[in-house]
Amino acid sequence: MKETLNLVASSKSFGGWQQRYSHHALSVGCEMTFSIYLPPAAEQSPVPVLYWLSGLTCTDENFVQKAGAQRVAAALGIAIVTPDTSPRGEQVPGDPEGAWDFGLGAGFYVDATEEPWNRNYRMHDYVVNELPGLIEAHFPVTKNRAISGHSMGGHGALVCALRNPGRYRSVSAFSPITHPGDCPWGRKAFTHYLGTDETLWRAWDACELIATARERLLLLVDQGQDDNFLVEQLKPEALEAACTEAGYPLTLRRQPGYDHSYYFIASFIEDHLRHHAAALLAD
């Protein structure tokens, strides 16, 4: 029996449909919301899916409203699914000090092991397993999946792909937190979600996972050179060094003048969609 989905909103866009749904998610123990863009081709036959993971403080709607991805997705015949960035609700604990970089809106796409976070903050399981199962049961899509994201979501996209060989056909990221074990945002989140044993953090750090990756998906990363978080938080040079040492295929594009905003994402989203289409639509 299919899980119940509640339609929250639906709008026609470039011949397809941009929709928003809510449902009760078992993996995170609360009501979750996601958005899905179904291109016109989905009315004729199942289409492949790109999963987009958003960054700190975002919801499922930021990408939908600001990235301008629907036009190209419609032309390519690709669905786009955008989950929320964390569990939410009165029963879900947030940062006790109300900080924006941890807790609600900042799940970091890990499966928390520490109390009280481990009861709800299991976003990796939700993104990799529960949500795709739901999408594939309810919508006209294939099991050809790709994953991408921005900032914290870029970290999530890299980790999801690296931890789950064979699950995705392609991966990309905008301004990812490449080495969370070595930046303030990541260290704060990992200490709370995963505990103080830093050896356990390696399983959720792209720079650590690259060394033992069992699959070689061509990785496309765009990074704005005028990003305020570039030096302290994002550290693309760490990812570049890890890929070079491991022989992992990376295309890292440093974009002069661009910052951390959705103006940056909107400027290059077509390149990323075409990068994924090449893998998703291949025989």
Token pair belonging to 146: 């790709």
Does 183 reside within a domain? yes
pLDDT score, position 35: 98
Q: Is residue 197 part of a domain?
A: yes
Kindly state the tokens that stand for 28: 């995170």
Cα separation, 170 vs 199, in Å, equals 28
267: exposed, middle or buried (Cβ count in 10 Å: 0-12, 13-18, 19+)? middle
In the chain, the largest separation of any two C-alpha atoms, in whole Å, equals 51
- For the chain (283 residues), the mean pLDDT of every run of 10, in chain order, is 85 98 96 98 98 97 98 98 96 89 96 97 98 98 98 98 98 98 97 97 98 94 98 98 97 98 98 98 85
Domain region containing 24: 6-280
Among the listed residues 67, 66, 63, 65, the one whose alpha carbon sits nearest the alpha carbon of residue 82? 63
Distance from C-alpha of 273 to C-alpha of 77, rounded to nearest angstrom: 10
Q: Is 259 exposed, middle or buried (0-12, 13-18, 19+ CB in 10 A)?
A: middle
| Structure confidence at residue 2 (pLDDT) | 62
In a domain, 225, yes or no: yes
In a domain, 254, yes or no: yes
Q: Is residue 1 part of a domain?
A: no
Q: What is the pTM of this model?
A: 0.97
CB atoms within 10 A of CB 166: 7
> Which three-class secondary structure state does DSSP give residue 252?
strand
Q: Which residues are designated catalytic?
A: 151, 227, 260
Number of domains in the chain: 1
The secondary structure of 106-121 as a DSSP string is: B-TT-B--STTGGGT-
Task: Please report which residue ranges of the chain form alpha helices under DSSP H.
Answer: 61-66, 70-76, 123-125, 131-138, 152-163, 184-194, 206-209, 236-246, 262-280
Pairing of strands 219-224, 6-13: unpaired
The answer to whether the CB of 174 falls within 8 A of the CB of 151 is: yes
Q: What is the 3-state secondary structure (H, E, C) of 166-222?
A: CCCCEEEEECCCCCHHHCHHHHHHHHHHHCCCHHHHHHHCHHHHHHHCCCCCCEEEE
Cα–Cα distance, 216 to 183 (Å, whole number): 26
In this structure, what CATH number is given to the domain that contains residue 145?
A: 3.40.50.1820
